[in-house]
């Protein structure tokens, strides 16, 4: 997102549009908060009480970690459906290695991150070298990890020392440490996307792989890096869950539905599912919207099954609002290439392939300059 700040050329309209993108997410978030606050006020509860704020922020942290990684992968026009299993696996490995002894914490964290990186590496290699669609590749690796988990673990396992549990339990004022960590990781990811060569290449490859390759980018590497980072951030979520639960659990990832919810959060945050456009901060906004909606429904004591109905409707409605804006907004991008502009404008229903393209050209140019 903030990549625009680095652009030296007179890219005036683009800068405005980019702000626009995160602005819509922000507006949606504010709208959700206002509605939530009003709803809670009607039953005499205060939305902005310190306890409630803490609940919301706590609810953001785990999904936030997963969604940050998912954003990177989706920007490459891939997907990661294996995250829930990586989350479960890392919570188990961490709890098993720690075994209640604080001295084992660094070792456990290291092993977890290495294992996750290897899983991500496998995902990335399968997607980029074997040319397997990311959906299928990560569905496959997810199933493989699931098979391993089901075979070797019957239930919760290991135990997490108190020192490590503090990470999930303490807070600075109303802000939990876990959320601060998540925001810090988000900042790192945003800087990675905005400031590093690989970050720019992730956008380029996601926008159009052919064009990226013809521009001299090794298209495999950004994809692999994104997958490795995604698995690592999922592992961080697993560590956090282990610290909250005090044990490792083989079902903690699947119960949370982190695969589909993280993808929904990313898309809610304005990232194109086809890759090439989007931002980390939008994703955080999407995660926050989820957290607020969930929190409001919990306080209102909505039936847990109805919650799913509301969640489903909110996802579709929010993305619908977002995409309808986006389609209009993106049209001028076709301007410089007049023929394309007419071609895609005319048959209203056929945006899907056309719109993926122009986004990449700009980030691609950016890349070449970098």
Partner 1 sequence: MTATTTTPTQPGFGERLAAFGRILISPRGAVFLLLAILLVAITVLNPSFAEPDQLVRFIQRVAPIAIVAIGQYFVIVGGEFDLSMGSVVTAQVVIAGNLIGQDASLALPVTALMLAFGALVGLVNGLVVSFLRVPSFIVTLGMMLALLGGVLYWTGGAATGNPADEFRELGRGGIRDLPVIGILPWAVVILAVVLALAIWFSKRPFGRTIIALGDNPVTAAYSGTRTWWVKTSTFILSSLSATVAGILLVGYAGVHPSVGRGYEFTAITAVVLGGVVLGGGRGWVVAAVAGAFALEALFTLLNFAGVPSTYRDAVQGVIIILAVAYAATTFRARRKGRALEASPAGPEQAPEPGPDEAKETVADPASARPAHIPSTQRDDNDTKGGS
* Residue 263 binding partner 1, by CB under 8 A: yes
Region near partner 1 per CB under 8 A, out of 107-115, 167-175, 177-185, 219-227: 219-227
For partner 1, the closer CB: 51 or 348: 348
Tokens 């909250």 belong to residue: 244
Calculate the CA 38 to chain-centre distance: 29
User: Least distance from C-beta 359 to partner 1, angstroms?
Assistant: 15
Q: Which of 260, 329, 337, 345 binds partner 1 (CB under 8 A)?
A: 260
Residues 267-306 that bind partner 1 (CB under 8 A): 267, 273-274, 303, 305-306
* Among 325, 318, 266, CA closest to 293: 318
For partner 1, the closer CB: 230 or 239: 230
Site string for partner 1, 346-365 (x = CB under 8 A): -x-xxxxxx-----------
For partner 1, the closer CB: 182 or 204: 204
* Residue 126 binding partner 1, by CB under 8 A: yes
User: Least distance from C-beta 213 to partner 1, angstroms?
Assistant: 5
8 A C-beta contact, residue 58 and residue 179:
yes
For partner 1, the closer CB: 177 or 220: 220
Q: Which residues contact 18 (CB under 8 A, 6 or more apart)?
A: 1, 4
| Separation in Å, CA 343 to CA 45, 324, 355 | 53, 19, 12
* Residue 311 binding partner 1, by CB under 8 A: yes
**Residue 296 exposure: Cα atoms within 13 Å on the Cβ side:** 20
Residues 128-167 that bind partner 1 (CB under 8 A): 129-133, 135-137, 139-144, 146-148, 150-151
For partner 1, the closer CB: 107 or 136: 136
Region near partner 1 per CB under 8 A, out of 7-15, 63-71, 235-243, 345-353: 345-353
Calculate the CA 43 to chain-centre distance: 33
Tokens 């239930």 belong to residue: 155
Q: Which of 219, 243, 283, 363 binds partner 1 (CB under 8 A)?
A: 219
Rg of the chain, C-alpha, whole Å: 21
Question: If residue 200 lies in a helix (H) or strand (E), which one and from where to where?
Answer: helix 197-207
Tokens at 89, concatenated: 């696996």
User: Least distance from C-beta 157 to partner 1, angstroms?
Assistant: 15
* Residue 319 binding partner 1, by CB under 8 A: yes
Residues 30 and 33: their CA atoms lie apart, in Å, by 5
Q: Which of 214, 329, 345, 368 binds partner 1 (CB under 8 A)?
A: 214
8 A C-beta contact, residue 278 and residue 290:
no
For partner 1, the closer CB: 14 or 325: 325
End-to-end CA distance of the chain: 16
* Residue 316 binding partner 1, by CB under 8 A: yes
For partner 1, the closer CB: 237 or 267: 267
The string of DSSP codes covering 318-358 is: HHHHHHHHHHHHHGGGGTTSHHHHHHHHSSTT--HHHHHHH
Dihedral-angle region of residue 303 (phi above 0 means left; psi in -120 to 50 means alpha; beta otherwise):
beta
Q: Which residues bind partner 1 (CB under 8 A)?
A: 126, 129-133, 135-137, 139-144, 146-148, 150-151, 213-221, 260, 263-264, 267, 273-274, 303, 305-313, 315-316, 319-320, 323-324, 327, 343-344, 347, 349-354
């Amino acid at each position: 997102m903030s990549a625009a700040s680095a652009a030296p050329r007179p890219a005036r309209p683009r800068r405005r549009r980019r702000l626009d993108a995160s602005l819509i997410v922000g507006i949606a978030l504010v709208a959700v908060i206002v509605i939530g606050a009003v709803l809670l006020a009607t039953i005499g509860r205060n939305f902005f009480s310190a306890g409630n704020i803490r609940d919301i922020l706590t609810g953001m942290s785990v999904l936030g970690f997963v969604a940050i990684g998912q954003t990177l992968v989706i920007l490459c026009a891939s997907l990661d459906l294996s995250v829930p299993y990586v989350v479960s696996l890392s919570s188990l490995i961490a709890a098993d290695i720690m075994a209640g002894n604080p001295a084992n914490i660094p070792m456990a964290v290291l092993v977890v991150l290495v294992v996750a990186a290897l899983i991500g590496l496998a995902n990335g290699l399968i997607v980029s070298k074997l040319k397997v669609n990311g959906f299928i590749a990560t569905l496959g690796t997810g199933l493989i990890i699931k098979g391993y988990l089901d075979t070797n673990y019957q239930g919760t396992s290991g135990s997490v020392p108190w020192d490590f549990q503090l990470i999930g339990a303490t807070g600075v004022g109303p802000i939990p440490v876990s959320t601060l960590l998540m925001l810090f990781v988000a900042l790192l990811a945003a800087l990675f996307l905005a400031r590093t060569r690989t970050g720019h290449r992730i956008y380029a490859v996601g926008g159009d792989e052919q064009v990226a390759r013809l521009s001299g980018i090794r298209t495999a590497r950004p994809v692999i890096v994104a997958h490795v980072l995604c698995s690592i951030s999922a592992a961080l979520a697993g560590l956090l869950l282990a610290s909250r639960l005090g044990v490792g659990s083989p079902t903690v990832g699947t119960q949370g539905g982190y695969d589909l919810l993280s993808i929904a959060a990313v898309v809610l945050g304005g990232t194109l599912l086809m890759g090439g456009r989007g931002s980390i901060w939008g994703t955080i906004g999407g995660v926050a919207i989820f957290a607020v909606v969930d929190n409001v429904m919990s306080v209102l004591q909505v039936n847990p099954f109805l919650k799913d109905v509301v969640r489903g409707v909110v996802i579709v409605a929010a993305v619908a609002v977002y995409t309808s804006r986006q389609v209009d907004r993106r049209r001028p991008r076709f301007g410089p290439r007049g023929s394309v502009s007419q071609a895609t404008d005319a048959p209203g229903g056929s945006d899907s392939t056309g719109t993926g393209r122009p986004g990449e050209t700009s980030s691609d140019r950016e890349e070449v300059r970098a």
